[in-house]
Amino acid sequence: MRSTFHNLEIGKRGVVAQQTAISTTGQNITNANTPGYSRQVAKMEAARPIEFPGLTKSTNPNQLGMGVEVTSINRVRDFLLDIEYRNQASDLSTWKMKQETLGNIEGIINEPSEDSISTTISEFWNAWQQLSKNPSATDLSARTVVQQKALALTETFNHMATQLDTLGNNLTERVNVKISEANNYITQASELTQMIRRIEGLGDNANDLRDQRDLIVDKLAELGNVQVSETTDNDYQIVFGGVVVVDNMDSTPFTLANAAGLTQGEIRGYIDSRDVHVAEYTKQLNIMADTLANGKVKVTLPAGTIIPNGVIIPNAVMSANNPQMLDQSVEYEVNGLNGLHKLGYTLKNPVQTGGDFFVTSDGSTTITAANIRVNQNILDDAANIAASMRTEKINVNGTPTERVLQGNGDLALLIAGLAERKFSFDPLNNKGAITDEATFGGYMQSVVAQLGSESDHATKMVENGTLLADHAENLRQSVSSVSLDEEMANLIKFQQAYSASARLITTVDEMLDKLINSTGVVGR
Amino acid sequence: MRITQSMMSRNLMTNLQGNYKRLDKTQEQLSTNRQLNRPSDNPVGVASALHYRQEISSTNQFSENAEDADSWMQFTDSVINEATQIVQRLSELAVQGGTDTVPKDARENIASEVGQLYNQLVSLGNSQFKGKYIFNGERVDETPFSADPANVSYELDEGEVEYQIGAGITIPVNLSGTKVFGEFSDPNGLFKVVDGLKKSLMADNTSDIQAAISKLQNNLQNLTTRQSEVGGKQNRLTFTMSRLDDLSINYTDLQGKVEDVDMAKAITDLKTSESIYQASLDTMARIIRPSLLDFLR
């Protein structure tokens, strides 16, 4: 015999369950735009039926339903899609950072433009052409032009080197900021784990906290490669950059020393930007500056050239009258513009050979883009620029004196001609030059083309990565995000079920009313 | 696949961004009038662009050098022209003075004019172009001739002043002074002949005066030869200059093809991306709104 109030209880359970479902729907609707929120469903089950009581255990298949129960409220989420999304987001972040840096480097190299290295070097060579036409003391303006164009060239090198250096420093700073950001997430994740365990220890589902933790892991994934593992008995671990940073309630801060384990993500992107890209273009600028000053290059010394004392030109045929004068033109390998400049004579009397044209500002022996300077002598006095390759011996008051032929501009011509000569950029093939032998302009073009290709490649990788990450995110959202249409339909469904359950209570109420108030009144 | 409102607005935003980016690109091209604004716009193109820029720069420099060489030679040409006229006048005077009937004082007058012309020749030999002595080889800062080069020894420099007028191509712009006026040791050199004429006139030596006539003729011929040498070089320069002009136009044209924007294409692109952007905005406005909510009233 069933209880009198059995059906009343079923009605009540119905109302309660539908109400819970409506609350869940409300939670979903209001969180439709919450980042990281995954929709929740109230899991309804028919309550465990009781057997129809009898004298002995019943063999009757009739079982009496006990109504409905909400057994749990679950998140709808696919763990595998999380992994896919995080992987793609991580990869995308790497390329985004590289793209940004390469874009910055493009801005620094600033080609093609009116104040780039290619333009200043062209103007520098042209200045030497001017000097070759006016080498004598009668018109010093051509010398001043060489002086100023050389200054512009070295300043362009210095400026670019400084900017690249600043970019590198900024990247270092950003790596540090991102690492502390990661550590912030790591702490939060372990704190959330603590809360989740406390709640789930009581048998509830900490859905919203789990959403928050997953969102934090998503953010961590943008910073670096991340792996999450959780076993059935709630053992939770986050591995970031190959290091276990969250082990249940314990967290270990990530440090720069662990950076090698980062294979992707923003931090890797910044480190690569600095150590690969900024380093590469700094190196290329250094190679260019050094090669211009000291790189081996072959020039043809014209007949009539007076070779300075102490210089020995192999295979040279000297004049019978003057052992220092070339009888025929000869090809000779010099060490860059500096080496060539030393073969000529300045305007000074008594005769003086040219010194180093380019020097370092810091006294170091290697010329780099940062330390290349025009020799201070040349800046102080343009007469110290060597342009002539001829001297003559004359008698001044009975003493033989050697003086320079001012009208000779052979050296200026040879230097201007370096524009068409192939320099040896990397004789030992260990400096990392793009090509070994090239004209200065040609080398610059290769560097710029390489930069353009790298930047273009990074842009394409960002575009592809965005597509892939978007796709993964779409798949994930397809499962987890809130559809308002769906929620509205559910709302109607639950509302109707709620009304029907309430109606059940009314029915039972009426039945009891009949029984209590309208029965057993015979003869009254 | 289940689609939700947030997915839809996210996807729309992504697409809208893409369309906006394209719009930005075409606008950048149109406002800078260049399709090459940074190396990544066209990595291969930018290398060519740099190459063309360099070629244009050096070609213009060669052009300037050729023009400078040309003006130097024009100057040399006019100097030799003047010398030619003087020598012609000297020949006339020699013929006049060589006639037996000329009285002594007339000869003295002729001698004094010859003396003036001699001085004029010396100053021509010391001509300066833009502060440089043109007949002293590469010793451009030193006066080649003294006031009396027939009797004061001189030694001219034979160096050639070279101007570069092409990649690896130079042209000597100066004319050797010894070729024009002769070496000091040469008794048939112009100065010696004129000085000799003057002395013969003073000494009334008719046979020597007559001998000078043919020597002057030889010098006149020499001057004409030198003048045509200069003319030949000027011809070469004219050819070079027009070739350099062609080259410059050529490279500028090529540079334009790589760097400059194709207006018609860019404007079409702009219009296309504009309308695509507009359409996506419209779509967004329409799609986002209706949901089940709108019908449950």
Judged against a pLDDT cut of 80, whether residue B297 lies above it is answered with no
Strands (E), A302-446: 330-335, 358-360, 372-374, 391-396, 399-404, 422-424, 437-439
Answer yes or no: is A29 within a domain. yes
pLDDT tens figures, B183-237: 999 999 999 999 999 999 999 888 999 999 999 999 999 999 999 999 999 999 9
Q: Which residues of A touch B10 (CB under 8 A)?
A: 470, 473-474, 477
Residues A300 and A412 grouped into a single domain: yes
The string of pLDDT tens digits covering residues B285-294 is: 877 666 777 7
Q: Which residues contact B248 (CB under 8 A, 6 or more apart)?
A: B56, B59, B60, B63
CA–CA separation, A226 and A6 (whole Å): 54
A308: number of CA atoms within 13 Å, CB side?
19
What's the rounded Cα separation, in Å, for the pair B264 and B46? 22
The SS3 of residue A138 is: coil
**Residue at A463 is within a domain:** no
Provide, as residue numbers in chain B, all residues whose Cβ is less than 8 Å from the Cβ of A482.
4-6
Q: Assess whether A419 and A298 both reside in one domain.
A: yes
**What is the bridge-based pairing of β-strands B132-133 and A236-240?**
unpaired
A411 and A314 in a common domain: yes
Structural domain count of chain A: 2
Closest residue in chain A to residue B138, using alpha carbons only: A407
Nearest to B58 by CA among A73, A267, A323, A122: A122
How far off is chain B from A475, nearest CA to CA, in Å?
8
Task: Say yes or no to pLDDT of A54 above 70.
Answer: no
Sign of the C-alpha dihedral computed for residues A184, A190, A193 and A198 taken in this order? negative
pLDDT of A58 higher than 60 = no
Residue A321 touches chain B, beta carbons under 8 Å: no
Query: CA–CA separation, B142 vs A407, rounded Å?
Result: 10
What is the extent of the structural domain holding A368? 113-174+294-427
User: What confidence tier does A254 reach under pLDDT thresholds 50, 70, 90?
Assistant: very high
- Find where tokens 């004359």 sit: A394
Q: A12 and A59, same structural domain?
A: yes
Assess if residue A273 is contained within a domain.
no
Burial class (CB within 10 angstroms; exposed 0-12, middle 13-18, buried 19+) of A140: middle
pLDDT 10s digits, A484-510: 889 999 999 999 999 999 999 999 999
Q: Is A280 an 8 Å CB contact of chain B?
A: no
> Mean pLDDT across chain A, nearest whole number?
92
Same domain assignment for residues A423 and A330: yes
For residue A65, what pLDDT band results from cuts at 50, 70 and 90?
confident
Q: Measured between alpha carbons, how far is residue A427 from residues A165, A423, B159 in Å?
A: 26, 10, 37
Candidate from A44-53, A66-75, A315-324, A464-473 with smallest mean pLDDT: A44-53
Is A239 among the domain residues? no
Residues A336-386 pLDDT 10s: 999 999 999 999 888 999 999 999 999 999 999 999 999 999 999 999 999
Co-location of A396 and A307 in the same domain: yes
pLDDT score recorded for residue B290? 66
Does A182 fall in a domain? Answer: no
Buried b vs exposed e over A395-432: b needs ≥16 C-beta within 10 Å? eeeeeeeebbbbbbbbbbbbbbbbbebbbbbbeeeeee
The C-alpha angle with vertex B190 and arms to B187 and B192, in degrees rounded to 5, equals 45
The answer to whether the CB of A417 falls within 8 A of the CB of B162 is no
Interval A18-32: pLDDT, tens: 999 999 999 999 999
Cβ neighbours of B194 (radius 10 Å): 27
Per-residue pLDDT at A62: 62
Strands B169-172 and B162-166: antiparallel
CB contact residues (below 8 A), chain B span 91-130, against chain A: 130
- Whether chain A has a CB inside 8 Å of the CB on B3: the answer is yes
Q: What is the pLDDT of residue A480?
A: 95
pLDDT band of residue A55 (cuts 50, 70, 90) is: low
Q: Are residues A170 and A304 in the same domain?
A: yes
| Higher local confidence (pLDDT), B293 or A142 | A142
Asked if residue A120 belongs to a domain, the reply is: yes
pLDDT beyond 60 at A219? yes
- Same domain? For A307 and A367 the reply is yes
Please check the confidence at residue A56 and state whether its pLDDT lies above 70.
no
The whole-angstrom distance between residue A492's C-alpha and the CA centroid of its chain comes to 50
Q: Which of residues 176-235 of B touch A (CB under 8 A)?
A: none
Tell me how far the alpha carbon of residue A462 is from its chain's centroid: 10
- A407 to chain B, any CB pair closer than 8 A? The answer is yes
Q: Are residues A24 and A130 in the same domain?
A: no
Residue A520 has a pLDDT of 81
Which residues in chain A have their CB less than 8 angstroms from residue B170's CB? 413
Output the six-digit token pair for B165. 């007028």
Please, what's the largest Cα pairwise distance for chain A? Answer: 168
A477 to chain B: which residues are within 8 Å by CB?
4, 6-7, 10
Higher pLDDT, A58 or A40: A40
Q: Do the Cβ atoms of B130 and A138 come within 8 Å?
A: yes
- Report the alpha-carbon distance of residue A40 to residue B191 in Å, rounded: 115
Which of B213, B219, B133, B215 lies closest to B176 in space, CA to CA?
B133
Looking at the structure, tell me whether residues A423 and A486 fall in a common domain: no
Q: Are residues A413 and A509 in the same domain?
A: no
- Neighbour tally for B271: CB within 10 Å: 11
Residues A127 and A27 reside in one and the same domain: no
Sorting pLDDT into bands at 50, 70 and 90, what band is A10?
A: very high
SS3 readout for chain B: CCCCHHHHHHHHHHHHHHHHHHHHHHHHHHHHCECCCCHHHCHHHHHHHHHHHHHHHHHHHHHHHHHHHHHHHHHHHHHHHHHHHHHHHHHHHHHHHHCCCCCHHHHHHHHHHHHHHHHHHHHHHCCEECCEECCCCCCCCCCCCCCCCCCCCCCCCCCCCEEEEECCEEEECCCCHHHHHCCCCCCCCHHHHHHHHHHHHHHCCHHHHHHHHHHHHHHHHHHHHHHHHHHHHHHHHHHHHHHHHHHHHHHHHHHHHHHECCHHHHHHHHHHHHHHHHHHHHHHHHHHCCCHHHHCC
Pair of tokens at residue B247 = 């080259």
Does a structural domain hold residue A336? Answer: yes
Percent of the residues in chain A that have a pLDDT greater than 70, as a whole number? 97
| Cβ distance of A106 and B131 shorter than 8 Å | no
The values of phi and psi at residue B63, to 5°, are -60, -45
The pLDDT confidence band at residue A398, using thresholds 50, 70 and 90, is confident
Q: Does residue A52 fall inside a structural domain?
A: yes
Q: Which residues of B touch A281 (CB under 8 A)?
A: none
Interchain CB distance below 8 Å, A129 and B54:
no
Residue of A118, A446, A492 lying closest to B54 (CB–CB): A118
CA B158 to chain centre: 24
| Residues of chain A with C-beta less than 8 angstroms from the C-beta of B140 | 136, 138, 406-407
How far, rounded to the nearest angstrom, does the alpha carbon of residue A257 sit from its chain's CA centroid? Answer: 19
Q: How confident is the model at residue A2 (pLDDT cuts 50, 70, 90)?
A: low
Q: Where are the alpha helices (DSSP H) in A134-250?
A: 141-201, 207-223
- What ipTM goes with this model? 0.89
Q: Which two tokens stand for residue A324?
A: 């220092």
Partner A contacted by B297 (CB < 8 A)? no
Cα gap B134→B179, rounded to integer Å:
13
Q: Is the predicted pLDDT of residue A61 greater than 60, yes or no?
A: no
User: Are the beta carbons of A373 and A154 closer than 8 angstroms?
Assistant: yes
Q: What is the mean pLDDT of residues B139-146?
A: 92
